[in-house]
Structure 1
Amino acid sequence: MHKNLILGTTIAGAIIAYALKPKKPKTELEAKGVPIPTTPTYLPLQIDGVLHYILSVLAGRDELEFLRAISTEMGNTINLRGFNQDFIIVLDPSSIQHILAKNQPNYEKGPEFQAIFHEFLGSGIFNADGEAWKTQRQLARPHFQTSEFRDAALINRHVDQLIKVIDNHISKSPDAPLDVQELFCRFTLDEASEFLFGETVNALELGNTEFSTAFNYAQSITAWRFRVPLWRYVVPTKQFLREIKKLDTFVYKIIDNAIARQEKRVMEQEQQPGDGKHEMKEGYDTLLDHFLSQRSEHGFDREYLRHMLLNFLLAGRDTTASLLSWTTWKLTQYPDVLAKLKQEIAEVIGPDTVPGYDDIKKLKYQKQVINEVLRLCPPVPFNMRQSVEEDLLPNGYYIPPGTPVSYSAYTTHRLPELWGEDALEFNPDRWGPERVGSIKPFMFVPFHAGPRICLGQNLAYTTAQVTLTRLLQRYDIQAKPGFEPQQVGDIVLFSRNGVEVLIRKKSISKF
């Protein structure tokens, strides 16, 4: 994206904002509240602050550490004001609890958030508010509650394919590094698409498919829409819409096939009356089948189903890939943790036993490791809401109506006043019985919290634990000498340059 275009757009946005911003007298609640500290700027309409942020992102600066540095200087409630518009960040657990739980109806995704995601996600659960969100969540919840991945069969099928890809890499290039981030994105795309659609994308086998490439492009453009003022006129649209059309072609074909199967099944049941129940292959129903079973009652059309499926795919695919990628990296940096984890797997699961759902629940230390990765590398590092009406936070700070209010799990998870002087250190023992009691509600929000807490968090834990167990049973992993991942805080926390590791097969005797 050209820097002069960014500069011109920013200045134009500042002029428009200044001209249109209404001046209002203080309300009674505002008079009672405390003004939120605002980041210092030196030019009218905070143009210098806005430009500094955008150009630093374009230059590859770490946005998340940028925010953490500001919070260290200014405290845990900050107003990143620009163009005379408030953009509030809250980091303390009491404020996060207020926004996500205690006064949750007052903090919606909001019209601007929905406009940014509209072409990509439509009115699906990730992008919905109010009754639309409630209905979708109520309909989806039973499927996530009952699909405990019995015997983790679906996950293990895709791990089998993952192992084939890794073995092929080792046989062809045994000393070459492997980008596990790219590999885990393909793996979780296959797993999530089968879980949701009943049909896998086959990204592990085929590489970067048209669907996966379009999906990645749509996410990238959507992330820039959040960053750039007047994004409707600056961020590319034509190519974006072409990629969205590719997603639609793929998803609508799956929906139409599923509808045809359902209609055929209903016809067969009418001809041979029974109890009305049916079984999918291996006794497993997909989320799509779950929604289709309620289509006549709720009037779902093809577009509604498309929105739902892509929303859950975004939520489930990249977040789990991020978790697996950062877990792998952390284990290469902490060989003592890796050795302890391998020992637990050897004692609890065995050297080559394929773990089931009940097996991985016995891996207590592994769960501690994953929680510590989620603390330092939360898959969704930053989340945004918008106030409906004016409000006061528990700490007395005033929130105007219609104002973006965000929280950053990445920064909150690193606050020394919450996590101790070793807050920046990777230490799975903080989740052990001696320390876990000090972790209070809303200190740890990798899956959000309150009514909108992630429906798929159990799926994420299960996938990560099954996959990690089987990979450590089979392989030795080491860091690539001189490699350092460059985290980027887009919609999901990934590394800009991948996560490259050295991976080799191990002998059973070494386990």
Structure 2
Amino acid sequence: MLKLQPGPAHLLGFLPNFIVPSATVYLSLRVLQEQLHLDIPSSLVIASTVLARPFLFILTRYYTLWANNRAAIANGAVLAPEVQQSTLSIISALTNSVKNGYPGDVVLDWLHRYGSVVRFDLFNNGVFVTHEPDHVKAILATQFDSFDKGPLFIGQMDSLLGTGIFNADGEIFHRAMTRPFFTRERISDFEIYDRNADLSLQEARKRLSEGYSFDFQDLVSRFTLDSATEFLFGSSVHSISAGIPYPKHAEHKTPQSFHDHPSNVFVKAFSQGQVLSALRTGMGADWPFAEFWKDEVIPLRKAMDAFTGPVMEAALEKREKELSGQIETKEGEETTLLAHLVKNTQDPKILKDQLINLLVAGRDTTMCLLSFSFYMLAQHPEIEHRLRQEIFEKVGATDSPTYEQMREMKYTRAFLNEVLRLYPPVPVDSRTTNKAVVLPSKNGQPPIYLPANTNCIYAVMNIHRRTDLWGPDALKFDPDRFLDERVHKYLTPNPFIFCPFNAGPRICLGQQFAYHEATFYLVRLLQQFTGFSLDLETIVPPPAEWASEYKGTRKSTEQIHPLSHLTMYIKGGLWVRMKELQPGAVDS
């Protein structure tokens, strides 16, 4: 069956909206001419026919605003203030932010100008932005059933994520299917982390011995990709074996085999697909016009499926042998999530979509956490020293950490929490109302009314940096805020201002897996290396205007260029240097 490209398909869906009003006006005028013998000039007929749809659009817009105001008043609420910009300028700002802006900076600007809540329209869909913890609480918990991913978001992400866990409403099926593989017993099996951490650090050691810096973000992306595929699918993709790239001034030394390695082809397609999909979210429902003749994500998804395909096919083949009696497997004996998925469905599309979605979680979120952890260590040697002291005290200078030891490492957990606070892997997230909703307000302000089908954006990154919520030192990196009286003063009374991995009360299934993985890697890193520093000559610098236009903010002091698609990452990589730690030494 022939499938229309995004632009023509979207345009075809628009045609009735244009044709019906114009046809109705034209036929009405013709009837008036014939029945009442009116002499209506042809120019008026043509103008009325052409302008019928724009007039109806304006009329509908004002009627909708009037109706929403009445509904808000009836509920003892108000509408959020409206952003005073044209729709095209808003779309431009949102898409430019994905390409080159600081994560959450567009909505942060609105926060300063209009207050903690705003609304705007992207032609055919209304958007609401909030920086209020109580609203996040309503979206993620108390009014959870009133919010979905929504057809708009699902449509924007369909080419990349399909029907996977991050792109589906009614996620009970997905969560029930995956939950058994994130029990304490399973996520506390650290052999996978141990092996892959040592392999990745060996690559770093080799590159440093050659006198070059290396891309830590790339290194930990390989560690997390190999660990995730081995844990979830039962077989590593061995991306670490591809090696790591040389810095730009020595990129001629990077062999072609590195670029051709299947894991690198996958990662490149994966990253490009996420950027293109994120750009769609800034364009609203009319994103198909930007990809009129071709869905730009589909070929990238095909490259990704070519990478995961062999893993899926092997699992399906094994399942067929089990069903035919060639292999005997006892009930509940599945050792991997993939084997469990295949037991529940043999639909190739569902399986492919789930694999890609799980790799978003398994690779990108922990990669983000570890990359920004190194970034903070490079700027705070006193924190590095304190972390290493705790590691040596609880684990030792060479041993691998156990689950019990990790629970005792309070400062290490506080450090990771502080990284997550300032650099959350998903800095901005959204849900869509499936019915009219009234959100609570504080400080005597009236509640906020949201009509059905409103896209609700909550900017976690900005909420985590509000001085009125975190205190006057909110922009300072300080892990102790999770250990001293500030926990009770700021976090405990307002738990929704801190949602690690954007989990909220519906705990992210892989949350503890990610904490364990990141903690384990930090332990091995700090047991073997010290003297962390940034190679500022190789790192892509942030835009110059950040330093001059945003004084007094984290943005003005950044030495890197953070960006965000579905998750946050560092543009151009995190190129770093470090020194080997002498055995048993706390510092070099």
Q: Common fold, TM-score beyond 0.5?
A: yes
Alignment of 1:147-296 (within 5 A): 147-173=185-211, 176-206=212-242, 207=258, 209-228=264-283, 230-235=286-291, 237=294, 239-265=296-322, 276=331, 278=333, 285-295=335-345
Partner secondary structure for residue 223 of structure 2 = helix
CA contact (8 A) 1:116 1:225 kept: yes
In structure 2, the partner of 1:411 is 462
Deviation at 1:481, TM superposition (A): 5.7
Deviation of residue 480 (structure 1)? Answer: 2.3
Please give the secondary structure, in 2, of the residue aligned with 1:193. Answer: helix
Aligned to 2:514: 460
Quickly say closer, same or farther: Cα 1:419–1:277, change in 2 above 3 A: closer
Which residue identity lines up with residue 213 of structure 2 in the other structure? P
Farther off after superposition, 204-213 or 91-100: 204-213
Q: CA deviation at 1:510?
A: 2.6
Structure-2 residue corresponding to 1:5 = none
Counterparts of 1:89-128 in structure 2 under 5 Å?
89-128=129-168
Pair 1:277–1:99, CA change in 2 (3 A): closer
Counterpart Cα distance in 2 of 1:259 and 1:48: 49
Specify whether residues 478 and 80 from structure 1 end up closer, same or farther in structure 2 by C-alpha distance, changes over 3 A only: farther
Deviation at 1:166, TM superposition (A): 0.9
Q: Label 1:218 to 1:90 Cα distance change in 2 as closer, same or farther (>3 A).
A: same
| Other structure's SS at 1:318 match | helix
CA deviation string 1:8-51 (max 9, x = no partner): x9xxxxx999864633352553223212012223xxx5444443
CA distance in 1, matches of 2:132, 2:145: 20
Residue 400 (structure 2) pairs with residue 354 (structure 1): yes
Look up the SS of the partner of 1:39 in the other structure: coil
Helix, strand or coil at the partner of 2:532: strand
What is the rounded CA distance, in whole Å, between the counterparts of 1:374 and 1:254 in structure 2? 32
2:483 is matched with: 432
Describe the shift of the 1:459–1:91 C-alpha distance in structure 2 as closer, same or farther (beyond 3 A): same
The alpha carbon displacement at 1:149 in A equals 2.8
Question: Aligned match of 2:360 in 314, 321, 324?
Answer: 314
SS in structure 1 of the partner of residue 357 of structure 2: helix
Deviation at 1:465, TM superposition (A): 0.1
SS of match in other structure, 1:414: coil
- Matching of residue 30 in structure 1 with residue 72 in structure 2: yes
SS of 1:447 mapped into structure 2: helix
Shift of 1:85: 4.5
In the TM superposition, what is the alpha-carbon distance from 1:113 to its structure 2 partner? 0.4
CA deviation vs aligned residue, 1:75-125 (integer Å, no higher than 9, x gap): 221224444753211111111111111111111110110011112111111
Identity between Structure 1 and Structure 2 (%): 31
- Normalized against structure 1, the TM-score is what? 0.87
Letter in 2 for 1:446: P
CA distance in 2, matches of 1:198, 1:17: 57
> Is the Cα–Cα contact under 8 Å of residues 487 and 494 in structure 1 kept in the other structure?
yes
Is the 1:151–1:358 Cα contact (8 Å) retained in structure 2? no
Q: 1:129-182 deviations in whole A, cap 9, x for unaligned? A: 12xx11111121122125543341111121121122112112222xx3221112
Structure 1 residue 141 corresponds to structure 2 residue 198: no
SS of match in other structure, 1:137: helix
After the TM superposition, which of the residue ranges 117-126 and 378-387 deviates more from structure 2?
117-126
| Structure 1 residue 263 displacement after superposition | 3.6
Letter in 1 for 2:565: D
Distance in structure 1 (CA, Å) of the matches to 2:187 and 2:500: 22
Distance in 2 between residues matched to 1:164 and 1:89, nearest whole Å: 45
Q: Compared with structure 1, are the counterparts of its residues 18 and 212 closer, same or farther at alpha carbon in structure 2 (3 Å cutoff)?
A: farther
Contact 2:535–2:577 (8 Å) recurs in 1: no
Aligned pairs, how many? 479
Aligned counterparts of 2:431 and 2:323: Cα–Cα separation in 1: 42
Partner secondary structure for residue 476 of structure 1: strand
Q: Alpha-carbon deviation of 1:368?
A: 0.4
- Work out the CA distance in 1 between the residues paired with 2:508 and 2:231: 16
- RMSD of equivalent CA atoms: 2.6
Identify the residue that residue 129 of structure 1 maps to in structure 2.
Answer: 169
Going from structure 1 to structure 2, the CA distance change for 1:353 and 1:501 (only over 3 Å counts) comes to: same
2:471 aligns with: 420
1:387-427: CA deviation from partner (whole Å, max 9, x where unpaired): 11111111211111111101111011111111100111101
- Which amino acid in 1 is paired with 2:290? V
AA aligned opposite 1:163: L
Q: Residues 328 and 197 (structure 1 numbering): CA distance in 2 closer, same or farther, change over 3 Å?
A: same
Partner residue of 2:42? none
Instruction: Assess, with a 3 A threshold, how the Cα gap between structure 1 residues 260 and 146 changes in structure 2: closer, same or farther.
Output: farther
Moved more, 471-480 or 361-370: 471-480
**What one-letter code is carried by the residue in structure 1 that aligns with 2:581?**
K
Q: Go from structure 1 to structure 2 and tell me whether the alpha carbon gap of 1:394 and 1:276 turns closer, same or farther (over 3 Å shift).
A: closer
1:491 paired to 2:566: yes
Q: Which has the larger radius of gyration?
A: 2
Distance 1:78 1:313, change over 3 A: same
Conserved 8 A contact 1:477-1:503: yes
**What's the TM-score, normalizing by structure 2?**
0.76
Distance between the aligned counterparts of 1:107 and 1:384, measured in 2? 10
> Aligned pair in 2 of structure 1 residues 19, 381: CA closer, same or farther (>3 Å)?
farther
1:337-372 alpha-carbon deviations (Å, 9 max, x no partner):
111011111111111112233322221110000000
Deviation at 1:278, TM superposition (A): 4.1
Structure 2: give runs of 5+ residues left out of the alignment.
1-10, 12-50, 243-257, 442-446, 540-558
Task: Please give the alpha-carbon distance, in whole angstroms, between the structure 2 residues aligned to 1:53 and 1:215.
Answer: 21
